[in-house]
Amino acid sequence: MTDLTTVTAGRLLDGYRKGEFGPVEATRAALERAERIQPEVNAFVRILAEEALAQARDAQERWRRGEPRGALDGVPVTVKDIMLLKGHPTLRGSRSVDPGGRWEEDAPAVARLREAGAVFLGKTTTPEYGWKAVTDSPLTGVTRNPHDASRTAGGSSGGSAAAVALGAGPLSLGTDGGGSVRIPAAFCGIFALKPTYGRVPLYPASAFGTLAHVGPMTRDAADAALLLDVIGVPDSRDWSALGPAGGSFTEALGGGVRGLRVAYSPSLGGQVAVRPAVAAAVRRAVELLAGLGAYVEEADPDFSDPVDAFHTLWFAGAARVTRHLGPYQRESLDPGLREISARGARFSALEYLAAVDVRMDLGRRMGRFHESYDVLLTPTLPITAFEAGAEVPKGSGHRRWTGWTPFTYPFNLTQQPAATVPVGTDGDGLPVGLQIVAARHRDDLVLRAAHALYEAGVTSGGG
């Protein structure tokens, strides 16, 4: 018997097509897993069991008639509780959001999933308003790592990463403003893609502006391509959304990496101290790509750490998202969010525009870099998962989460596509991620390189 909690969305669809099993079986298995993991891992804000089973029964009947609604008909999915899901509150990890509001609209990516027949298992946890790179909030508490419950799942899409890693649905929608799909995916040992900005429409617009992307969190690159084909289409509610993609991301997976020009930057030119076990696992994956025919050269992109500019934009966004709150509501906020919101409210327009200048220069530099290289490879993170309930590792000396995520947030500033692939584990059995970055609009190259690594079995290796 196939354990339906361990297979990809692609395998589920193949099984539906062949009549080996149906959406009801897959949904029941995913719901049972969600209920089982919730007490220890805390991946869900709410589980929608009755609604999911009703959707699964409808999908099963469509498959029985040979008339599936869309490309994901009957596939169980989860949605980060930052994104609107019609009929259910979107609380954003905050006590300041009124759950009794009118929740009558789907976010664009959720609407595309609904049209494609996906089954919604539930909403996953997030830190308050998605402000940091670990997942704990005053509303829902701490989300824990599926490999070691004493460690963090990462964030801000930590609930989604834990759910996918533990078999509570093979697909999840996350958001990424500074690494928020890639960070938890790397800590939890799954795949995640931050697509080019605008490839997946976002509504309502993020308070963090054009730093924020919507991205697939999945078991592998093929599932992410399948999901991106569904959600990566225009929506009139997002004025900054891109036009239709030039072709199918799924069909582009099989091109391989022979002849691909690859830059490998192990530490961004010595700017980042990377733990030896992480560096070794990443290097083995890079060598594997070279063995598959890619032209690999050790080369660093030409930029210094843009953290000050990122902080200006990020903290200003935090001030904006909390601006409507009264004194009592502010006292109920995550203390870290309250602190950065206060700092963000003090920035002048000129300081904000100076940060935009840094961003534009960084984008220009990366544009030039990708004239020479198709993709850039780095560690996703310099460390593996640390203790749960803390914003930064104990004894690290870091003040904010950006201190330990130097490989991720630069590519939110530049709006480039970037993915994380699990490439092994450290000595404690904690996952290590490899980041793949390409020029804007070349999501296909990121997915193709990642798929080549999956095909070559990179995720089965230890570290």
**Catalytic positions, written as ranges:** 80, 156, 180
Contact at 8 Å (CB) between 251 and 228?
A: no
How far apart are alpha carbons 53 and 40 in whole angstroms? Answer: 24
How far apart are alpha carbons 63 and 45 in whole angstroms? Answer: 30
Rounded to whole angstroms, what are the CA distances from 224 to 75, 190, 192, 331, 443?
Answer: 13, 11, 7, 39, 11
Tokens describing residue 113: 């999933």
Tokens describing residue 379: 């560690």
Closest by CA to 94, choosing from 66, 128, 59, 145, is 128
Could you give the angle at which helices 221-231 and 9-18 cross, rounded to 10 degrees? Answer: 80
Query: Is the CA virtual torsion 87, 217, 438, 450 positive or negative?
Result: negative
Tokens describing residue 207: 């308070």
Closest by CA to 344, choosing from 325, 320, 310, 328, is 320
Could you give the angle at which helices 23-41 and 9-18 cross, rounded to 10 degrees? Answer: 150
